Structure 1
Amino acid sequence: MPSRASLAALLNDPDVASAVTGRLRGAGSGVGNDTLRHWLYDAIRANVPELQLAVLRFVPTLAGLYMCCAVSWKLLVGFEAVLLALYAHAAAQRGGTGKAETVSLLNLANPSPYHDTKVPPKAKPAELDIAVLSPPLEPHSIMRATRRACIAGAILELYQGKLSLMPISSKMDFSEFCPRLPPATDAIAVVEKWRRVPLSWELFQPVVRIVAHCLLGPSRSDELKAQVARAAECLYWRATETMDAPALLATRSLMRLSQMVEEPIPEPSFSSAIENMAELGP
């Protein structure tokens, strides 16, 4: 068994990443007897965190390739086995029950403790509103077409949880395979339209969170921020097709954040303040 240091090195090794990504994008990738598929499947099922993290590094390529192939009705059994193993791992990370991830929101019907109210408060305060960040993960042994987006979304949420540990190259792969719509003026828009991944809400939420993390994260890569900003713009145009209000609001906010990243606020200068203080001195 390799040492944990060597396993951890797999995550950031550019040669390994290039070789694995090239194999995944190859013509014979994803078939049932693919040796790389067997390695990925066994690695994610192994109880070795460093090895599982190395597999998560290739989630953008795996999920992107599979979803694009699913649109063209070219289903790959090998990819399905790996994705189902990742889905089972995501359910196990939630305590083995796959329960929903929720957050409590303040109910504005309750009186504020910082302000006096003219109307006497009710005897029983209103309950907190519960927002569902991620739906429950039901067990799945096969990849059904009706649950494909839900399974891919849960895997992307698992990837998002480890995003701070992922190398820049993995985030670049994600922005490349991010579901997008070319502009109407693009010459290849009509040709590429059939290859677009159906952007359901289960898949849309983790995609937006990952894009936002890449935009506002600590990475100093200008190339990454430029490519992710392009992905945010494409997501916005995808949302305009469906006219989904929450999707439009989220993607429009992403676009404005990307503009703020391109034009950062200058740091304040204290030289003039020091000069003014000197003039006020005795």
Structure 2
Amino acid sequence: MHSWWESVSKARSRIHALAAILPSSSAEALSALADSDRPALSLLSSPAAYSAVSSSLQGSASDPLCHWLYDTFLSSDPHLRLLVLSFLPLLSALYLSRIHHHFDPSSLAGFEAVLLAIYAAETKSRAGKPLLVTIPDLSQPSIYHAPLRKPSSSVDRPSSVGVLSPPLEPHVAMKSTKRATIVGTALHCYYAQISQMPSWSKLEFCRFAAGWAGQDCPCRSELDHRDETAIANGHGAIGSSEIEIEEEILQPVLRILGHCLLGPLNPQEVKDAASSAVRSLYARASHDLVPQAILATRSLIQLDNRTREAAKAGANSSSNSNTPTKPKKPEILLVSK
């Protein structure tokens, strides 16, 4: 009971601190959220609170909102940390865009402090170990094969292991050579909590991914409509306003988009936004000739198309089964005497 009340008190304190920073028009609504039984989660699911924060976020070293995000993430409460991570799509989008347009570094120090805090926490939790994934070996029988036991003469082959992320090195400053690693690690932390993120945060992430890709040419729909003219004319020159695609950021972006696109509990609005973002990334990868991105985005687009076709077919069959049919007249057989 004590730990629960301590968590609630800490969350209410942080919400009141946020209300003191934001314009007075938003303070009353935030105060109402602080009085709920689960204040941190109430703030997390509030689109009005997100709108107030997004319109006031500046990113400089003196930005009180960045200070609030930084201090809130340093708390040990998991709900408060989740709240900070929910703003990561907005923060990352603003930060990468301003870096690309050569903003004054001092105007980005607040963003960098929050990103470094998230990176430091993840570095500590990994304890110098890489993130690994076991790759299935199709030559080996699975648990569904019969017989379940392998022959005694068989030799166990070592399983293939892939490295999702190498061991993280501690960083206390945002260097240009490590920026992609730090931002990508922060996005990985977002992905680790993706099932608890509200819809508005996922929508913001899809907008971030689409803006990051920066490609709206006809070839983005070449997997939907086999228009040879669009395919031939779509591959033009890349504009100078587009942000560079880096693999450290691309990997978590694709994982998050995959969840937004195919997660069964996501609202249709999130799925549609993810569908558009994936197609923009596919077009950008096709222009930049990035094989990994082309394969991944192409697979996501094909899965999206199949899912939508299956849903459409299911809806049609359901409507047909519910349509009342005219009763048939009984057949009359004429028998000659």
Normalized against structure 2, the TM-score is what?
Answer: 0.69
- Corresponding residue of 2:188: 157
Alignment of 1:32-181 (within 5 A): 32-74=61-103, 75=105, 76-94=108-126, 97-107=127-137, 125-178=156-209, 179-181=212-214
1:252 alignment counterpart: 298
> Which residue identity does 2:217 align to in structure 1?
A
- The unaligned stretches of length 5 or more in structure 2 are 1-9, 13-36, 220-235, 322-337
CA contact (8 A) 2:260 2:266 kept: no
Give the counterpart letter for 2:118 in structure 1: L
Q: C-alpha separation between the residues in 2 aligned to 1:125 and 1:261?
A: 38
Partner-residue secondary structure (3-state), 2:178: helix
**1:35–1:241 Cα change, 3 Å:** same
AA aligned to 1:79 is: F
1:278 aligns with none
Count of aligned pairs between the two proteins: 259
Question: What SS is found at the alignment partner of 2:283?
Answer: helix
How far did residue 11 of structure 1 move? 0.5
C-alpha contact 2:215 2:281 (8 A) present in aligned 1: no
Does the 8 Å contact 2:41/2:79 carry over to 1?
A: yes
Deviation, 1:105, is 2.1
User: 160-169 or 175-184: which moved more?
Assistant: 175-184
- Percent of aligned positions with the same letter in both sequences? 38
Residue 182 (1) aligns with residue 215 (2): yes
RMSD: 2.8
Superposed CA deviations along residues 206-240 of structure 1, whole A, max 9, x for unmatched, are 11111110111133522221111100001101111
* Residues 105 and 131 in structure 1, CA contact (< 8 A), matched pair in contact too: yes
Offset at 1:112?
Answer: 8.3
Deviates more, 1:3-12 or 1:103-112: 103-112
Higher relative contact order (Cα pairs below 8 Å, separated by 6+ residues): 1
SS for the counterpart of 1:177 is helix
Equivalent residues of 2:187, 2:252 under 8 A apart: yes
Asked if 2 retains the 8 angstrom alpha-carbon contact of 1:61 and 1:173, the reply is yes
Aligned-pair CA distance for 1:81:
0.6
Q: Does 1:7 align with 2:36?
A: no
Aligned residues of 1:232 and 1:251 also touching (Cα < 8 A): yes
Alpha carbons of 1:156 and 1:98: their partners in 2 closer, same or farther (altered >3 Å)? Answer: farther
Q: Does 1:239 align with 2:239?
A: no
Listed as ranges, the gaps of 5+ residues in structure 1 are 272-282
Larger radius of gyration: 2
Kept after mapping to 1: 8 A contact 2:191/2:252: yes
2:44–2:86 CA contact under 8 A, matched in 1: yes
